[in-house]
Amino acid sequence: MTTTTVPGVSSRAATLEGLLGSLDDPANPIGRDALLTADEHWELVGEGEDRLAEFGIGAELVPSRYGGRFEALDGLGRILRPVFRRDPALGFSTGLLSFIASSMVWLEGDEQQCGLLAGMLLANERVTLVRREESHANDLTREELSVAPEPDGWVLNGFKSAIANADRARGLVVMARQEDGEGPGAYSVLLVDRDALPDLCLEELPRYPTVGMRGCWFGGLEFVDCPLPPEALVGAAGRAVQIGLRGSGLVRGLVVSTQIASGDTILRTAVRFVAENGEAGERGQASGHETTVLAGALLDTLVGDCLALAACRAVHVVPEDSLAVAAAAAYVVPKLLAETSDNLTVVLGNAQYMTTGPYGMFQKHLRDLPVTGLGHSGSAGRQATLVTNLPRFAERSWFRAPEPDPALFQLDGALPPLALERLTKVVGDTDPLAAALLGGARMLGTHVPPGTDRRRVATLRTMVDLFVAELDNLRRACVELGVQGRQALLTPQSYALADRYALVCAAAAVLGVWRDQQGREDGRDPFLADPRWAIGALTRLGKRLDLPLPPTAADYEEWVLDEAFRRYHANQSFDLYCTRLA
């Protein structure tokens, strides 16, 4: 198998971290005080945009074949995290949104279109997505665009009032409905170069205020008999929905990867509050409730990152079966982070409402976090993707498919080159996460990794067996669901099964990351190699599933809390990478 590495991802992420500087430095023009002040004024920090341009953030979004630095999806997530830890609005506006829009062109655009788009991004110009109307009311407003063929191309009409980066994006990836067309097949994708449009055919409308990511400009655009050349059409006419579904495998994994960075800042603010306001002692002497909440928050962040990692790497390792992994990650991670953030409000008390000072970042990220994935399929869409897969997986994959390549759960290492042409299946044939769970269970049943505590490994094995039993229960229920036909997929019962399945996927990702740390000579993380964090993570997932957990599974909180404060005092991130922060 031909493989590629991503040269310098770690070093580039560290360079960007240093370029953005310390959040706590009051003299830093991109520090906490500057970011919070800009947020209060509904602006982005201009110095932040300048430094990202200096770094060449646009090149990170362009595949290497077109002159950029994008080769691996998890690598791009690591590059964007330093920005999202500081300001999700800045990260969304300067990086993530452009990738979301561009992915549709990378997937089905021709060489000329990809070259045009690459030129914009390499010049640090921005690209935005003008979405179609969604039947599940996922858009901020209820408007759309229409396109009609002309002898010399196309003509575009209509308006949308809530387009991110409407004020500055040069590239517009537009999903427009063909006039008189109905249904999903009526929509096409067009690439619009704003600089090439004639005068008076595009009008900017007023700003649309949002609760979160206030620095990102959501504004309106109205097209009035706007002429477009024939080459504006991306792919074939009527393929907008299919292209969007293909792109969701790319976008969903990246979105949750950036959300982990925002959750990192939320947790760091809470740990800081306890360290500075608790009783005297090395950890600020967290109370019993604070111990449970802080330890649980770190574990939930790591669980989310395990799923984000698997979703990003699945695009390379198992592209045909990656969409289900991405849907599970996009469904579970925002829920985990929202629940964690809500729990942490009890730790901060009234400090959660501060808009300035050392704890002001908490409320900012709390508002920004839900908006990061705004409009991209939504929770219902992700859940529907999972439901669609369940009967097929139950019949063809669960307890039958071989284990996926261990590269699916590696924090680093070589990956197959990104083969976008293989991202074609909405419903795959194989469930890589379920297969990984079963493979891990077999390993634990026959092998104790060297250097690990046998008693703890035995506890972990017991817990993994509970998730295997849950998967077997799901298998029987989902086979019956398939027998009942398509209508059964639209019932509350099917969505409840999807909820439970998504948590089993999370357990599989945790086990996969823990297994990857065993036996490593280089790059081994002592914390991630220890069974206790995996036991703690599975305990939290098992409680959500109401599994009969062993009593010793709760013996992890103090140890995890120590790790949380160790990382805080060492100025390291709370994600899987334990990154040194500026």
Distance of CA 133 to the CA centre of its chain: 23
The reply to whether 333 falls in a domain is no
CA distance 430 to 446: 25
CA distance 365 to 135: 29
CA–CA separation, 450 and 448 (whole Å): 6
Query: Quick check: is 137 in a domain?
Result: yes
Q: Cα separation of 145 and 155, whole Å?
A: 11
170 within domain boundaries: yes
φ and ψ at 123, to 5 degrees? -90, 10
238: left (phi over 0), alpha (psi -120 to 50) or beta: left
* pLDDT by residue, tens only, the chain of 582 residues: 333 434 489 999 999 999 999 999 999 999 999 999 999 999 999 999 999 999 999 999 999 999 999 999 999 999 999 999 999 999 999 999 999 999 999 999 999 999 999 999 999 999 999 987 654 344 444 578 999 999 999 999 999 988 999 999 999 999 999 877 777 788 999 999 999 999 999 999 999 888 889 999 999 999 999 999 999 999 999 999 999 888 888 899 999 999 999 999 999 999 999 999 875 444 456 677 888 899 999 999 999 999 999 999 999 999 999 988 999 999 999 999 999 999 999 999 999 999 999 999 999 999 999 888 654 455 666 787 788 889 999 999 999 999 999 999 999 888 999 988 888 766 678 999 999 999 999 999 888 788 788 899 999 999 999 999 999 999 999 998 878 777 767 788 888 999 999 999 999 999 999 999 997 777 679 999 999 999 999 999 999 999 999 987 667 899 999 999 999 999 999 999 999 999
CA angle 175, 219, 40 (to 5 degrees): 140
Distances 366 to 85, 100, 207, 354, 573 between C-alpha atoms, Å = 12, 22, 22, 12, 18
Q: What is the DSSP string of 35-73?
A: HHHHHHTT---HHHHHHHHHHTGGGGGSBGGGTS-B--H
Decide if 412 is inside a domain. Answer: yes
Is residue 39 assigned to a domain?
Answer: no
Provide the domain limits for residue 139.
127-238
- For residue 165, is it within any domain? yes
Give DSSP secondary structure letters for 485-545.
-GGGGGSHHHHHHHHHHHHHHHHHHHHHHHHHHTT-SSS--HHHHSHHHHHHHHHHHHHHH
SS (H, E, C) 305-355: HHHHHHHHHHHHHCHHHHHHHHHHHHHHHHHHHHHHHHHHHHHHHHHHHCC
**Total domain count for the chain?**
2
Residue 213 within any structural domain of the chain? yes
**What is the Cα 26 distance to its own chain's centre?**
30
CATH classification at residue 209: 2.40.110.10
If you ran DSSP here, which 8-state letter would residue 96 be given? I
Cβ partners under 8 Å of residue 518, min gap 6: 449, 452, 529
* Assigned domain for 313 exists: no
Q: What is the pTM of this model?
A: 0.93
**CA Rg, the chain, in Å?**
24
Among residues 65, 64, 72, 60, the alpha carbon closest in space to that of 416 is found at: 72
Boundary-marking domain end, from 186, 206, 238: 238
What tokens does 321 get? Answer: 């079966």
Residue with tokens 């788009």: 117
Residue 216 in tokens:
């990102």
Q: Which of 174, 204, 238 is the last residue of a domain?
A: 238
Distance CA 223, CA 173 (A): 14
Q: Which two tokens stand for residue 11?
A: 């070093």
| CA separation for the pair 162, 217 (Å, rounded) | 9
